Amino acid sequence: MKKTIYRLLGSAAALFMVFSCNMDLIPTSDIVYDENEPAIQKASDLTSFEQGIHVYFRSIHQSTYYYVSDVMTDGFNATIDFGNNFGPLHRTDADFTASDQDVEDVWGGYYTAISKFNQALAAANSITDPELKENAQVFKGYAFFYRAYSYLYLARTFGKAYDAATASTDLSVPLVLVYDQNARPARDTQENVYKQIKSDLDSAAVLLAGEVGAVRASKPTIDAVTALYARYYLDVKDYGNAASCAQSLIASGKYELSDTPAEFTAEFLNDTGTEPILQMVASLNEAPNSLYNYTRLTTANKQNVYSPYFLPSGKLIDSYSASDLRLSGWFKASGSASYPIYSNGSAYSDPGVLVFTKFEGNPTYTSAPLPQGQNAIKPFRISEMYLIAAEALFQSGSTSDANKVLNDLQTARGAELTTQPSIEAIQKEWFIETVGEGQRVWCLKRWGAGFTARYGQPAAIANNLIYTGTYYTDRAFEKGDYHLTLPIPTYEMKINTNLKQNQGYDLLSESE
């Protein structure tokens, strides 16, 4: 019996260009193989499969995969010219339903990638040649790592925060470990999904044990596995192991926090910094997904301008101390020092309006005259390990140790130091350090918190650059707001009637 599967790699560069331009598209070339014969029969097959899973992993980062968390919470305000891009998510009003296309893109993108990781593992397990089988062990480690990463993302996004008391009944996402396009799996529990994440991580740890960590490693290493363990343990509230994993990476001395303007430029513009534990391949031919909507550098009336869909909220800006390198490094004042903001058909140069430029883009990844919001994908930076260590230590009662770790991060960033240890100080640091990286919703859920109104920058309001009022600057989430858990997409529920909708969206789904 023969089956058709997507070719994992016809050309890695060509395939990744497809994803970077349009994340809705998937490769259309395919190969036909006999399920009774190994899919990997020679070294070149193994190379192609490996390149392919790296491409698919890169495809599920940045762009919508990060926007969904950040634009729906309190760090950003929609501009007058945002054209309702991510509008339902941003407002979370009656327009935000289970039919939201952005949510469907996230779900579909991750499950497409998981299917490729499953295929890769099946192909590796089918190898019969002893030498080739041995050579495929690291490749299997990559696939296990990528699948663990993917399920943690999905569990955090479409399931409730992990609670050991209810995890055995709380619904998570369908657990699909074998490629089967005809399967219609029901949602598994958070307990089972997190067990699978741990199992995949354990497999990756064994298979990648010899892959020594290094700054900006372009493929998963044992240090990247340790970083993912740290996230996992933080989620399941195993604070001892979370702190241990994070602190081991900090203590290794391999990864250094950026603490000067020049180092910030190297880190966040040129992709040559010292913080990344994992930094995926990026080039003009293999450009990463873009975060262009925060800057939208373009030309209008013969001048270069910013035309962002979202501006940083006043709440976000006010969360930084004046000396913080992140304030000066990730935000630019509109005007002569950078570019005017183009809105409502006019250019505005007001230094009181800051644009979020953390992901303005590495100019070497585009042939366009201006950066297009593309930076190398950095799934793990050492700064996150400081945050995980601080939170885990605090939650386990080691408050003075937690504050020392927090102060180490704040010192590097030139920020005001926290003198009185508190969970609120740690939570604030998560907000201002990981902004734009798609983690805000996960943090709020883990803490059982909501957020207060995302008030706008005064100058942005004065210049009529942003929408204000109900569902915009006044939008807030109460503790436990159901929107923090995204809906199961309506399309998925129509083709798979075994799926059950998340609370809050269930009645809406029935009426759609």
Contact call for residues 448 and 479 (beta carbons, < 8 A): yes
DSSP assigned state of 449: -
Q: Is 456 exposed, middle or buried (0-12, 13-18, 19+ CB in 10 A)?
A: buried
pLDDT in tens, 350-369: 999 999 999 999 999 999 99
Q: Other CB atoms closer than 10 Å to residue 304's CB: what's the count?
A: 15
Instruction: Say what the pLDDT of residue 4 is.
Output: 38
Percent of the chain with pLDDT over 70: 92
> What is d(CA 219, CA 344) in angstroms, rounded to the nearest whole number?
44
- With cut-offs at 50, 70 and 90, classify the pLDDT of residue 20: very low
- pLDDT recorded at residue 179: 76
Has residue 419 got a pLDDT over 90? yes
> For 371, left (φ over 0), alpha (ψ -120 to 50), or beta?
beta
pLDDT beyond 60 at 402:
yes
First to last CA, the chain: 40
Which tens digits make up the pLDDT trace of 289-316? 999 999 999 999 999 999 999 999 999 9
Residue 199 has pLDDT above 60, yes or no: yes
Is residue 380 within a helix (H) or strand (E), and if so which, with residue range?
strand 380-381
Residues 381, 65: Cα–Cα separation, whole Å: 18
User: Rounded to 5 degrees, what are φ and ψ at 189?
Assistant: -85, 160
What is the pLDDT, as a whole number, of residue 12?
35
Give me the pLDDT at residue 27, please: 38
Cα 451–240–147 angle (5° rounding)? 75
Q: Residue 506: its pLDDT value, please?
A: 81
pLDDT attached to residue 420: 93
Report CA-CA distances (Å) from 459 to 164, 316, 348, 350, 465: 46, 14, 11, 8, 9
347 has a pLDDT exceeding 80: yes
The rounded distance, in Å, linking the Cα atoms of 210 and 222 is 7
Residue 437 has pLDDT above 50, yes or no: yes
Whose CA is closest to 169, among 202, 191, 197? 191
Report pLDDT for 475.
97
pLDDT number for residue 218? 98
Supply angle C-alpha 330, 294, 297, rounded to 5.
Answer: 95
Residue 8 has pLDDT above 80, yes or no: no
Alpha-carbon distance values, 17 to 12, 93, 283, 284, 365 (Å): 9, 34, 10, 9, 11
Residue 34 scores a pLDDT above 60 = no
> What average pLDDT does this structure show over 100-121?
97
Q: Which residues pair with 79 in a beta bridge?
A: 466
Once rounded to an integer, what is the mean pLDDT over residues 490-494? Answer: 95
pLDDT of residue 375: 98
Mean pLDDT of 13-31: 35
* DSSP-derived secondary structure for 115-170: HHHHHHHHHHHT---HHHHHHTHHHHHHHHHHHHHHHHHHHHHHSPPP-TTTTTTS
Section 471-479 average pLDDT: 97
The answer, yes or no, to whether residue 120 has pLDDT greater than 50, is yes
Task: Identify which has the larger pLDDT, 228 or 1.
Answer: 228
For residue 32, the model assigns a pLDDT of: 39
pLDDT score, position 507:
65
| Contact (CB, 8 A) for 232 and 194 | yes
- Report the distance separating Cα 379 and Cα 371, nearest Å: 21
Average pLDDT rounded to a whole number, residues 82-98: 97
Closest CA relative to residue 341, chosen from 234, 463, 424: 463
Instruction: Find tokens 């508190």 and name the residue.
Output: 422
Mean pLDDT of 275-296: 97
pLDDT at 29 over 80: no
d(CA 53, CA 454): 38
Residue 197 has which token pair? 């994440």
Burial 136-161 (b: 16+ CB within 10 A, else e): bebbbbbbbbbbbbbbbbbbbbbbbb
Residues 341, 309: Cα–Cα separation, whole Å: 11
- For 180-201, what is the mean pLDDT? 94
Report the mean per-residue pLDDT for the chain: 92
The domains located in the chain, with CATH, are 1-209+481-512 (1.25.40.390)
pLDDT (average), residues 195-209: 98
C-alpha distances (whole Å) from 158 to each of 2, 116, 133, 172, 230 are 35, 21, 36, 6, 20
Beta strand residue intervals within 238-307, DSSP E: 276-278, 297-300, 303-306
This prediction has a pTM of: 0.93
Over residues 491-501, the mean pLDDT reads: 95
> Could you say which DSSP state residue 171 is in?
B
| 206's tokens | 């064994």
Q: Which residues of 38-57 are buried (b: 16+ CB within 10 A; e: fewer)?
A: bbbbeeebbebbbbbbbbbb
Return the minimum-mean-pLDDT range out of 180-189, 316-325, 402-411, 469-478: 180-189
pLDDT band at 36 (very low <50, low <70, confident <90, very high): low
Q: What is the pLDDT of residue 287?
A: 94
CA-atom Rg of the chain in angstroms = 22
